Chains A and B, each alone.
Chain A
Amino acid sequence: MTPFVTSSPVSVPEVSALVCFLLILLVPFAGVGLALIQCGLGRARSAAHAMLAALSVIAVAAIVYVIVGFAWQGAAGRPEHVLMVGGKTWGWIAAEPFFLRGLRLDLSPAALVVLLQVLSVGLAGLIPLSSGADRWRLGATCASTALLAGFTYPLFAHWAWGGGWLAQLGANCGFGRGFVDGAGSGTIQAVGGLTALSITWILRPRRGKFSDEGLPAAVPGHNAVLVLLGCLFAWIGWIGLNSAGAILFLGVEPARVVLIAINTTLCAAASGLTAVVVTRVRFGRPDASLSANGWVAGLVASSAAAAFMKPAAAIIVGGVAGIVVPLVADVLEFQLAVDDPGGAVSVHAVGGLWGLLAVALLTDAGAPGGQWLAQLVGMATLLGFVFPLSYGLNWLLDRVYRQRVEREGELQGMDLSELGAGAYPEFDIHGDEFLQR
């Protein structure tokens, strides 16, 4: 099959490329934030395991992405395999060589895309970690991340960012300007969040989380300070991610980074504050972990549209995220028996999908008409293709290599079970006395 070039490359002048490079260097802070949040929301007896798993996930994701991921994802204006349907070309997968062969790693747009992706594919990999906390084996975590970084993520990223068929919806069907996802509400966050749902279903709940009657027990996170500090780190990282993503994937002029930084901040602020109010009304006092999740959900929702929203719209997007996320977290735990210790499904999957929808509802991103259809097609692809693919791959992995730790290991804690030493050797670690037997 002969590869075609069906899209134009994004033009980034050299000075802008340097600005973009510096913004990309902020992205690892988002990873630091997510790692701290998931560590703090987990049990003390699994804290070292959680941080080592985060490092391992970032490492595996970066290596696998460089070996095969970019070969499937590519970048706009570079060769891809296409299908001819109805006289139109639809890009479905990139045609790059493995190991980044033949790609000049300088300040060119394609090289900057590679750099941004090497750093941000790890973010997508970190998201499922918090849903599998306290029971997901380290080896299985790495294997699952390899599947995510090697197949699921690059495929959808090509469709959305690499000039693939979702990006072509505008040109081929008149759906606005095609699927718009500036910095990954769908491509990073929803992909990670739906993978997190797959993982919770495959791993099943922690022992003692649900009683025989199906009532959930509260298993509090061990360090709220880490969680809230993580939110601040994530904020810095997200400003870099949203700005660099908008420049590289949407072709916005670098001067827009000011608007993007303001919108990112407003989204997180509105979402965090709304979550504080919602939990205050619901429980009588603000809940620190749910409010932190609200903050992150605002960041997640801001990613798709930060470059196109007016600041007032950013506050609305964040406010809605802050209302929806705590409620969805409740429904998942109380109604649907999903044990998601870090709230990854509600924050990243639901927050990400809301961010994609907000592009059509609250921004001037699209040409007149049809943008909502482009966004809907993208969301349908996440739910109808990415989620089954992710579940299927992880289900197969579980058949070959059991992902959940043994019963004794779970009771011991992941630190002692898998690492042989705890994170806090000089402190007493609580047992399971607060769980239902």
Chain B
Amino acid sequence: MKLAGFLLLVAGWAIVVFAVALLPSAGPRATFVLAGVAVELLGFGLAVRSHLVLEADGE
């Protein structure tokens, strides 16, 4: 689960970078940047949750 969280973090950042570099107009660019940030937050939440599970397991 932690790996999935970190992969989502990187994927969200990739969406942000590609939106900035490839999209020509302001509207879609802003939308995709926000979408990328949302994916990152999802990934961060997953990474936090996996850390909690590890702590509970006492690993």
| Contact surface of A with B, Cβ cutoff 8 Å | 85-86, 88, 90, 169, 173-174, 201, 204-205, 210, 214, 336-338, 370, 373, 376-377, 379-381, 383-385, 387-388, 391-392
Q: Which of A337, A373, A387 contacts B51 (CB 8 A)?
A: A337
In the complex, are the beta carbons of B10 and A377 less than 8 A apart? no
Q: Which of B12, B14, B24, B56 contacts A86 (CB 8 A)?
A: B24
The majority secondary structure among interface residues of chain B is helix
In the complex, are the beta carbons of A373 and B6 less than 8 A apart? no
Q: Smallest CB–CB gap between A422 and chain B, Å?
A: 30
Chain A residues contacting B48 (CB-CB under 8 Å) are 336
B1-22 interface code vs A (CB 8 A; 1 in, 0 out): 0000010011011101100111
Q: Which of A85, A336, A383 contacts B22 (CB 8 A)?
A: A85
The majority secondary structure among interface residues of chain A is helix
Q: Smallest CB–CB gap between B20 and chain A, Å?
A: 6
Chain A residues contacting B14 (CB-CB under 8 Å) are 384
C-alpha gap A205/B48 in the complex (Å) = 14
A-B contacts, 17 of them at CB < 8 A, read: A86-B22, A88-B21, A173-B29, A214-B55, A336-B48, A373-B30, A377-B20, A380-B16, A380-B40, A381-B13, A383-B12, A383-B40, A383-B44, A384-B10, A384-B14, A384-B16, A385-B13
Chain B residues contacting A337 (CB-CB under 8 Å) are 51-52, 55
In the complex, are the beta carbons of B33 and A201 less than 8 A apart? no
- Knowing A384-B36, A391-B6, the reply to whether A173 touches B51 (Cβ < 8 A) is no
Chain B residues contacting A379 (CB-CB under 8 Å) are 37
Q: Which of B12, B26, B30, B51 contacts A336 (CB 8 A)?
A: B51
Instruction: Please give me the 10 A-B residue pairs with the lowest Cβ-Cβ distance, nearest first.
Output: A384-B13, A337-B55, A85-B21, A380-B16, A384-B40, A388-B6, A384-B9, A385-B13, A384-B12, A380-B37
